[in-house]
Structures are given as C-alpha cells and as structure tokens.
Structure 1
Amino acid sequence: MRLFRRKKPKRYVRNKNGRLFNWAQREKSDLAVEFLEPRLLLASNNPTAEGAFSESIYHHANVPTLDDTATEGVREIVVVDPSVTEYQILTDEIQSDSDTSIFMLESNSDGIAQISNILKQYDEIEAIHILSHGSIGSFHLAGSRIDQEALLGSATALQSWGESLKSGADMLLYGCNVGAGIVGAEFVETLSELIGADVAASSDVTGSSDQGGNWVLENSTGPINTSPLSNLYYSYLLEAIEGTNDSDILTSNAGEDDTLMGGAGDDRYVFGDNWGIDAVVELEGEGEDTLDFSAVTTDLAFTIHADGKVSVTDGANLVSNVSNIENLIGGSGNNTFEFEGGGAGRHYRRC
C-alpha cells in the first residue's frame, strides 16, 4: 500500500461558510491510496484505531501572551521540544513549582524565535532548561538542527535572550552528547557567549540508566548554580537517529524507543515488528518522504489526521503525529486506515 498526494489544478472554490479560497491550499490533505496488497480495510470510524491516538506523543500549544500575574515570581523556564517521548514524565516533578513555567514548542516553526517570544515576557530569569534530542555539537528545536552554524546565523536573536536573564543565569541542555568532544565544547562555548549565561550540556548519553544514560551534564562553561532536572522513572534516552541532506534510510531499532530525524532529500523511515514508541521529525518541503512498515507482520491501524499528520500503531507500538510525510507503506498483516476530517473526499486507486 502506498499513500501519496494527488496534485490538483489551482482553482478557487467556496467553503461551507461561503468564502473563496485557493484549492492549492488543500493539496497537502488531498491524498491518494495505492493498494499493493489485498488485506486493506478502509474505515471512516474504525474501532481498531479509535482511541489509539487520544494521547499524542506531541502536544503542540501556541506560546501564550501572559499577564503580569502569570509571569510574576517565575525564576526558571523549561522548554520542551515536541520530539521528546513522554516528556510529561520529566516535567511532572516541577508542575507544582510556582517558580517555574513550562512551554511546549510548536513543530515546524522556528524554535529560536519561539523561545525569544517566551523570554520577552519575563525578566530576571535564573535558568533555562531545554529538553530535546541531541548529538555531538547540536540539539534539535521544533524540527530544526541547532549546530554551530545555526548559532552564528541566529546570533542577534540569541543575544536578545540575555535581556531576560539575571546576572549569573544558567542554561541546561538535556540531550545526548551535545557537549561531547572538541566540537561539542566549541558549541557550548559559543552558545554561552551569545546568550550571556553559563551553559551546561552532556558529553555522553542522557536519559534512563536502564538504557545506559544518566542525568549528569558533564560539560559546562562556568559554575552552574541551578539544580538539574532528573527523573529515575523516565525510561527513554534523549538521542536521535539522524539523517543527512541526502536521501537517507533511517531504521527504527526493535524494542527501543527512538527518535528518527530526517534532513533534506527523500527520506525513508523503516519500522519492523516491536519497533517501540517512536517519534519521527521531518522538515517541511524537504523531499518525498516515506513511512515504511513493510517489515511489520502484525495488523496496523493508520490514522491520517485532519491536519495531515499521520499516526500508526499495532496496539503495542506507536509512531504518532508525524508531519510532512508523502508516502505510506503498510505491513503484511491487515492495514486499517481512518481518515479524520473529510476523509471521504480523498481519492483512492487500486492496482
């Protein structure tokens, strides 16, 4: 089974409110399904898939404009990247702390700009915690890779963060290997200089000790006075399987909970049996990208959400709310599809 977009001619039509809009604006939700195996079940209200995605791995929320009462007394900011699996486990320990505010970034929107908008509402902040996935000399924000080049390209925005920080403030980066090696050390130093705060980052695997990780941020540019977040109940690692600017095949590890992050090019995300609770981060407009479940032998439930995002589960394993995917390949079991928000208007082809 292959799911792909069918191009429509640009023309104006009226919506149910009588307003004119360009049909091209709907191209992303006009999908075509090509059936490559006979055991495909299509349902507009499928009991197998119903409720499977009621609790999304990704919880996107616009950054609110807060009044003085909401910002008063806040001393620490926690910023969560949408790719972090079950981030609530990490943030639950600080929910009741009135000195701390937690913000969830929107995917596919400039992460540095989002944090800038958050910080504009505060002053005298003592610490910023960023929960994300990392690699040597980089971490991920809202679908973008923040490395040395990205820091220098956003220098003006990053320097503005210092206006909201108290003297001696800290930034703590939670992500695997961000501060590792010479490249990691240079990255941490550059970030520290730009924002005018001490920065701490990990030089090894960050996350669950059961998977070989820890919560120690080994590399810092100065004294860190802020207590780091840590949660012994978090069972995941904050590392990513990363693509390049070419066309890549990114394969999920069986029995592990992975984050797969593509770059430019036509990327293929490959899943097998017992793939885990995975997250996929794909950039908008970067190639013709595919979720490939052809190696899965269990029955699969696909949900194509009204906003074009895709979720897939076999009841035990899950990949949820994936954006910017053009193709879907089903498994060898029964593949059931639920289309939210006008699925009946899509086009199907069997061959």
Structure 2
Amino acid sequence: MTTLHTSHFQENSAIFTSDTHSLVFIDMAIEDYSGLANGVLPNTQVFVLDSTQNGVEQITEMLASCNPLNLTNIHIVCHGIPGSLQLGNTNLGLDNLDKYSQQLQQWQNIRSASAKSDKPWNLLIYGCNVALGDAGAEFVQKLHQLTGANIAASRQRIGNAALGGNWELEVCTAQMEVSLAFTETTRKAYAGVLATFTVNNTGDADDGNANNDITTLREAINLENSTE
C-alpha cells in the first residue's frame, strides 16, 4: 500500500515493510503533485517536499529516519534546468554541490546501512533537461560520485507530450534498468512538464549561469529556447 506523507509528518507516520523497494520525493511546487503522488506503482513510499524549505535537507532527514530493507530506487520529482534541480526553496546545481557534499554522501551511507544487498542503488531524476549539455553531463557525473548511486536523468522535457515532454530518462551513469515510479495511466494523464523559468531580475542580459538564483527575462527566454 502506498501512503502519501508530507515532510513535516513523515517521521511519525511512515511505515516501511520488506516490500518497500522505492522512495519517491515529489516537490509540491510542480503542477498537480498530488496526482503524481497518487499514481505510483505498488511497493513505493511517497514523500512531498515542502516548497518553502530546503529540499536537500528534507530528503536527508527523511532518509535518516526510515529503514526500508529492500530499498533499491530513489526517485526525485521536481523542476529542473540543465545542471540544476529545484528542491524546495533551494537550487542544487554545479555551483553548490560542494556545499551539500556531506549530505549527499549521507544518502549513500544511509542506504548502505539499511540495504540487504551491496549492489549499487539507483537515483532517478525527473526534471526537465537536467542532463542537457556540458553542464548537465557534469552535474550527473558529480552527483554519481557524491552519492555512489547509478543516476538516470533526461536531456529532454519530462511530462506531457503535447508540451514536448516524455518520460524517458535516457542519460545513465551505468548500465541499469530504468524502472519508472508511476503507472502508465498516470504518466499519460499528467498535464504539465517539469520545467519552469521564473524571472526575478529586471536586467536584459544573460550571464550564462543558470544556477546563481538570478534569472533575467533574456536568460529565461534563452533557457526556454534551449529546451525546445
């Protein structure tokens, strides 16, 4: 049975069994996050990340508080751009991976301590264009090194086909079976895509850094064009 938990209440309410193989973290900032949360496959636990708090810290805290013995897959569903994820109120990208290196390494340690097998675990990232270009490729490799996980991500949009999206995580750091967390019905019904570009600066220049929390109208236009 799949149970939906928010980050605030999961410590007291999460119940894991020997059949729990996957954890799914869904950022509540994405469109219809509840529809995705209710459409996961069996043997999957779902946690919703509070979009007003640090998402990396939320994931680390939740992993530390649970003990699924047969955990093999962790899925992260959030908005993305090349080389960066939006997790809660925090960007996790090339410019700050070092800042979060200890927490990311904890993900590996926590999983290793609870697993019955020493086989590598899989981290599947559902975020538009995360693995696109040089920045995307470097981000995926560094995340693999820090977490010890096999990473699967996409160079394309994730989501609704009419908006140019699909559900293919075609970029992998190793040979691995990419098993998606959501049913086919859920994927086909999803109306959005997992990318967003929010303008927060009145300038008309593109500094070329998508991960510095400064997005001008010019930069947003260029980012949007790069995903088409």
* TMscore range, shorter length: 0.7 to 0.9
Q: Does 1:225 align with 2:177?
A: yes
Instruction: For 1:70, give the aligned amino acid.
Output: I
State the AA in 1 paired with 2:16.
T
Match for 1:128: what amino acid?
A: I
**Does structure 2 retain, via aligned residues, the 8 Å contact 1:123–1:163?**
no
| Corresponding residue number in structure 1 for 2:59 | 115
**Count of aligned pairs between the two proteins:** 193
Q: Is the 8 A contact 1:207 1:234 kept in 2?
A: yes
Q: Is the 8 A contact 2:25 2:77 kept in 1?
A: yes
Match of 2:194 among 238, 252, 275: 238
Q: Is the 8 A contact 2:169 2:178 kept in 1?
A: no
Task: Note the 1:103-252 alignment, pairs <5 A.
Answer: 103-120=47-64, 121-124=66-69, 125-165=71-111, 166=115, 167-230=119-182, 231-243=187-199, 246-247=201-202
Name the structure where helix makes up a greater proportion of residues. 2
TM-score, reference length from structure 1: 0.50
Query: Is contact 1:208–1:235 with CA below 8 Å preserved after alignment?
Result: yes
Residue 234 and residue 149 in structure 1: after superposition, are their counterparts in 2 closer, same or farther (change >3 A)? same
CA contact 1:134–1:240 (8 Å) conserved in 2: yes
Provide the secondary structure at the position in 2 that maps to 1:153. coil
Shift of 1:173: 0.5
Residues 68-79 of structure 1: pairs in structure 2 closer than 5 A: 70-73=15-18, 74-79=20-25
Aligned counterparts of 1:60 and 1:143: Cα–Cα separation in 2: 15
CA distance in 2, matches of 1:150, 1:122: 28
Distance 1:208 1:168 in 2: 31
Residues 106 and 142 in structure 1, CA contact (< 8 A), matched pair in contact too: yes
TM-fit CA distance, 1:248:
6.3
CA contact (8 A) 1:60 1:107 kept: no
CA positional deviation for 1:71: 2.0
Partner letter of residue 180 of structure 1?
L
How many angstroms apart in 1 are the aligned matches of 2:73 and 2:203? 37
- RMSD over aligned Cα, in angstroms? 2.6
Q: Per-residue CA shift, 1:22-81, capped at 9, x if unaligned?
A: xxxxxxxxxxxxxxxxxxxxxxxxxxxxxxxxxxxxx965142147x8123222100011
Q: Which has the higher strand share?
A: 1
| Alignment correspondent of 1:41 | none
User: Is the 1:139–1:175 Cα contact (8 Å) retained in structure 2?
Assistant: yes
Q: How does 1:1-351 map to 2 (within 5 A)?
A: 61-66=7-12, 70-73=15-18, 74-94=20-40, 97=42, 99-120=43-64, 121-124=66-69, 125-165=71-111, 166=115, 167-230=119-182, 231-243=187-199, 246-247=201-202, 263=213
- Whether the aligned pair in 1 keeps the contact of 2:158 and 2:165 (CA below 8 Å) is yes
The whole-number CA distance in structure 2 between the counterparts of 1:266 and 1:219 is 29
Identity %: 28
Is this contact kept in 2: 1:175–1:202, CA < 8 A? yes
2:131–2:140 Cα contact (<8 Å) kept: yes
Mapped partners of 1:111, 1:184: distance in 2: 20
Unpaired segments ≥5 residues, structure 2: 205-211, 218-228
Does the 8 Å contact 1:170/1:197 carry over to 2? yes
Distance 1:225 1:149, change over 3 A: same
Tell me if the contact between 1:78 and 1:130 (Cα under 8 Å) persists in the aligned partners. yes
Amino acid at match of 1:114: Q
Alignment check: 8 A CA contact 2:6 2:47 kept = no
Normalising by structure 2, report the TM-score: 0.76
Q: Cα distance, 1:238 vs. partner?
A: 0.7
Relative to structure 1, the CA distance from residue 137 to residue 100 in structure 2 (aligned partners, 3 Å threshold; closer, same or farther) is: same
Partners in 1 of 2:10 and 2:173 — Cα distance? 32
